[in-house]
């Protein structure tokens, strides 16, 4: 017996039916923190559940031709990832060795009773625990944190690679530029420390839901009338970072929660090849964009940028406020670890748009740790 569910991306062009063995539900699944998953998606960790057989058509009656709406990317000699060509949602993972298939859990029409989070794996790749430190509990149960595959060494909460390595050069924590890149390296950039231009009075932006819930805050307050430069933190040395659980992030990335850093455009520099005419990092100027940087417009004034080759989410920004970018933290490569805490100040008081969460238990797990409940 199988249970069939539909999976869809944000733009709605990629809709499939997938089957689960009914007797195995709910599946105890992993959050994968490996370097490949992070740089191929822009997410801090990937949650994909194994399915029974191959993906099926929307009607569920026959195998689907994935290449009709999805782009295939071979992230290794044995793994192919499929993401929506239009909105970049990483939806399907194919392991050629078994062979087996998996679906991005956040794209399912229903999660409750289908997939549970059972453990974190490849936490060693994060250097600092990554999302596993911010999400240690699921439905009140502490999740095992495996260094690699299940059964490998477990890492305690608060583990940090620097604490396990003799002679660590602490100066690395003050690196001058923070690198970011997708898995295929078609999109690469660096971020510089906050500077005079990033604190310029001309830079204005309304408050994100992360700081002020949009559903319960007056429009006047959200407009940031006092022109607070909320993106600069840590005595002027860091940028604001946090998680978002909005339906847009979940369905256009394939993630339960998306980690974002808020960075002024003037502090981002391309290191990938861009047109010779490019004079600055300007996503509005089509002549200065890398060839593989693709754009999806979830709404009239919002822009979602991703790599057209590997599908990694890179940036999110508003056409009405183009000077402040949301940068996908999963692409960053800080010496101190994936949370880049010498660069980013993580706001833990709220998960952005937590009311829209696909998997409420994930948000509750993050909030429980934040509130010191467990």
Alpha-carbon gap, residue 353 to 369, rounded angstroms:
18
Show the low-confidence residues of the chain (pLDDT under 50).
166-169, 171-172, 374
pTM assigned to the model: 0.93
The pair of structure tokens assigned to 215 is 């559903």
The dihedrals phi and psi of 305, each to the nearest 5 degrees, come to -110, 135
Look at residue 98 in the predicted model and tell me its pLDDT.
Answer: 87
Alpha-carbon gap, residue 367 to 354, rounded angstroms:
10
Residue whose C-alpha is closest to residue 75's, from 335, 312, 328, 332: 312
- Given CATH 2.170.150.70, say whether it is the number of domain 2-162: yes
Tokens 């992030």: give the residue.
249
Q: CA angle, 308 as apex, 190 and 294 as ends, to 5°?
A: 75
Q: CA angle, 276 as apex, 272 and 282 as ends, to 5°?
A: 65
**Where along the chain do the CATH 2.170.150.70 domains lie?**
2-162, 168-371
Look at residue 372 in the predicted model and tell me its pLDDT.
Answer: 55
Alpha-carbon gap, residue 136 to 15, rounded angstroms:
32
Look at residue 171 in the predicted model and tell me its pLDDT.
Answer: 43
Instruction: State the DSSP H helix or E strand holding residue 120, giving kind and residue range, or none if neither.
Output: strand 115-121
- pLDDT tens-digit readout, 185-230: 999 999 999 987 776 767 889 999 999 999 999 999 999 999 999 9
Instruction: State the DSSP H helix or E strand holding residue 38, giving kind and residue range, or none if neither.
Output: helix 35-41
Secondary-structure class of domain 168-371 per CATH: mainly beta
Look at residue 315 in the predicted model and tell me its pLDDT.
Answer: 97
């Amino acid at each position: 017996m199988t249970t069939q569910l539909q999976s869809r991306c944000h733009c709605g062009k990629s809709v499939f039916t997938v089957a689960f063995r009914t007797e195995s539900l709910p599946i105890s699944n992993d959050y994968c923190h490996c370097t490949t998953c992070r740089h191929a998606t822009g997410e801090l960790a990937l949650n994909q559940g194994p399915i029974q057989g191959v993906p099926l058509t929307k009607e569920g009656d026959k195998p689907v031709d994935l290449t009709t709406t999805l782009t295939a990317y071979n992230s290794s000699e044995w793994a192919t990832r499929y993401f929506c060509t239009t909105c970049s949602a990483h939806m399907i993972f194919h392991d050629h060795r078994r062979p087996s298939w998996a679906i991005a859990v956040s794209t399912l029409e229903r999660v409750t009773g289908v997939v549970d989070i059972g453990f974190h794996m490849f936490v060693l790749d994060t250097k600092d625990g990554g999302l596993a430190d911010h999400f240690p509990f699921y439905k009140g149960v502490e999740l095992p944190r495996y260094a690699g595959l299940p059964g490998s060494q477990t890492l305690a909460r608060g583990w940090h690679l620097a604490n396990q390595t003799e002679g660590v050069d602490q100066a690395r924590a003050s690196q001058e530029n923070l690198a970011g890149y997708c898995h295929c390296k078609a999109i690469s950039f660096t971020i510089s420390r906050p500077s005079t231009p990033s604190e310029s009075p001309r830079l204005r932006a309304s408050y994100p839901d992360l700081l002020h819930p949009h559903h319960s805050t007056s429009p006047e307050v959200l407009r940031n009338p006092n022109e607070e430069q909320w993106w600069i933190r840590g005595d002027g040395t860091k940028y604001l970072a946090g998680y978002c659980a909005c339906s847009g992030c979940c369905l256009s990335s394939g993630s339960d929660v998306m980690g974002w850093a808020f960075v002024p455009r003037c502090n981002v520099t391309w290191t990938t090849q861009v047109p010779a005419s490019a004079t600055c990092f300007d996503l509005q100027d089509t002549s200065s964009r890398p060839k593989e940087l693709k754009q999806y417009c979830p709404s009239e004034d919002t822009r979602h940028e991703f790599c057209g080759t590997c599908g990694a989410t890179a940036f999110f920004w508003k056409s009405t406020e183009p000077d402040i970018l949301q940068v996908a933290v999963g692409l960053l490569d800080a010496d101190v670890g994936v949370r880049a805490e010498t660069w980013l100040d993580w706001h833990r008081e709220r998960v952005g748009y937590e009311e829209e969460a696909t998997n409420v238990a994930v948000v509750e797990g993050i909030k429980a740790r934040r509130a010191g409940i467990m």
